[in-house]
Amino acid sequence: MKAIKLLASGLILSLSLEELIAKRMHRSLSGQLVNQILPAVRAVPSIDTTVEYEQAARKSMNQYRVPRIIKHRYRIHQYRGHEDILEVIPRQIEFSHRVVFYIHGGGYWGQPFPQHYQIVANLANQLGRRVIMPIYPKAPAYDANDAFTMVLKSYQMVVNSDANDIVLMGDSAGGGLVLSLMQHLKRNQGIQPSCAVLLSPWLDISNTNPQMRLIQPKDPVLDLDNLTRLGAIYANRLSVKDPLVSPLYGDSSSLPPILVITGTDDILYPDAMKFQQLAVRKRWDVTTTVYRAMNHDFAIFPITEAQKALNETIEFIKNND
């Protein structure tokens, strides 16, 4: 009993300390606690050796399977029988012609995390829209052209089949893919979404913005050097500044409204702000919301700030229906 009391006292003291730190950092307590465990979470694979590369290559060649517990918990279905296109249907609606087409992040190397399924389920249930998520082919077995071709075909299938209104949304690498897709649709007179939401988007895989190095010590999720290696391998024969992989260098004029959500402790934050500055100068329809002391992809984690970002996303989508 004495040991239990001591343990409880230690936990209370630890939480009180974290709460003080959270207040000083202008974070919620939940945001602070998640920030503490993120260094142990591999958002993208670390590729430093030949062995690590070979392991990643074998993994990327395997067919992705949704974990059974995830499939049942979030009511994940195959879209029209396609194993590599997933669909979540709102609990209260049997079918809807209104769709969110969600492109998940992972540095173009990683498959969806449990948090991705949580956010797409929340979007489906709170918006009353189906959410469709393509599982695009991953590096290093596949490259940017492979991934983009699959995403484009999936998007066109949804648009041409049963979507009267479609919203594009993506996080991290998926946010970059969303913007590349919109630029491609513009160039080729394709059907655009009503609007788009980019969460902590990776807009320039060259990672040459000097401000990124200054933020690196604060980012518990991404390592700049590793991320740059992953991006170069994903680009393959393309220049790392080709708009297909780095849409920051593409033409975003006359696109539908875009909401960007980013945090100041994300090494990708400087490029999100560079995109916003371009938008202001060139009069693109882009709105960027910055969350202080928030890390990369914070919006998909179970924290107070993520709920605020989700509420903002839902309001933005509804306002652009």
Compute the Cα dihedral for 235, 240, 246, 252 and give only its sign.
negative
What is the arithmetic mean of pLDDT over 71-86?
Answer: 93
Q: What is the dihedral of CA 105, 108, 112, 118, to 10 degrees?
A: 0
Q: Count of residues for the chain?
A: 321
Q: Can you tell me the distance from the alpha carbon of 153 to that of 285, in angstroms, rounded to the nearest whole number?
A: 26
Longest dimension (CA), the chain: 71
Q: Which tokens go with 86?
A: 């997933």
pLDDT band of residue 12 (cuts 50, 70, 90) is very low
pLDDT band of residue 96 (cuts 50, 70, 90) is confident
pLDDT band of residue 31 (cuts 50, 70, 90) is low
The pLDDT > 70 percentage for the chain reads 90
Q: What is the pLDDT of residues 112-142, one digit of tens each?
A: 999 999 999 999 999 999 999 999 999 999 9
| DSSP classification of residue 73 | H
Identify the pLDDT of residue 30: 74
Q: What is the pLDDT of residues 36-70, one digit of tens each?
A: 777 667 778 888 899 999 999 999 999 999 999 99
Identify the pLDDT of residue 43: 72
Amino acid letter, 256: P
First to last CA, the chain: 58
Identify the pLDDT of residue 21: 58
Q: What is the dihedral of CA 193, 196, 202, 204, to 10 degrees?
A: 60
Identify the pLDDT of residue 258: 98
Identify the pLDDT of residue 10: 38
Identify the pLDDT of residue 247: 98
- CATH code matching the domain that covers 44-319, chosen among 3.40.50.300, 3.30.390.50, 3.30.1330.60, 3.40.50.1820: 3.40.50.1820
Q: Can you tell me the distance from the alpha carbon of 242 to that of 230, in angstroms, rounded to the nearest whole number?
A: 15
Helix axes 2-25, 29-37, angle to 10 degrees: 100
pLDDT band of residue 34 (cuts 50, 70, 90) is confident
**Sheet harboring 195-199: ordered strands across?**
76-79, 82-88, 130-134, 98-103, 165-171, 195-199, 258-265, 286-295
Identify the pLDDT of residue 24: 62
Identify the pLDDT of residue 162: 75
- Cβ count near 150 (within 10 Å): 17
Q: What is the pLDDT of residues 269-297, one digit of tens each?
A: 999 999 999 999 999 999 999 999 999 99
More confident residue, 73 or 39: 73
How many CA atoms within 13 Å lie on the side-chain side of 238?
21
Lowest mean pLDDT among 8-17, 52-61, 215-224: 8-17
Q: Which residues of 103-114 are buried (b: 16+ CB within 10 A; e: fewer)?
A: bbbbbbbbbbbe
Candidate ranges 28-37, 39-48, 164-173; pick with highest mean pLDDT: 164-173
Identify the pLDDT of residue 281: 97
State the DSSP H helix or E strand holding residue 19, giving kind and residue range, or none if neither: helix 2-25
SS3 262: strand
The pLDDT mean for the chain works out to: 90
State the DSSP H helix or E strand holding residue 315, giving kind and residue range, or none if neither: helix 304-319
Q: Are 257 and 223 in contact (CB under 8 A)?
A: no
Identify the pLDDT of residue 116: 95
- Does the structure show a pLDDT above 50 at 2? no
Identify the pLDDT of residue 6: 35
Q: Can you tell me the distance from the alpha carbon of 173 to that of 35, in angstroms, rounded to the nearest whole number?
A: 20
State the DSSP H helix or E strand holding residue 132, giving kind and residue range, or none if neither: strand 130-134
Q: Can you tell me the distance from the alpha carbon of 139 to that of 147, in angstroms, rounded to the nearest whole number?
A: 9
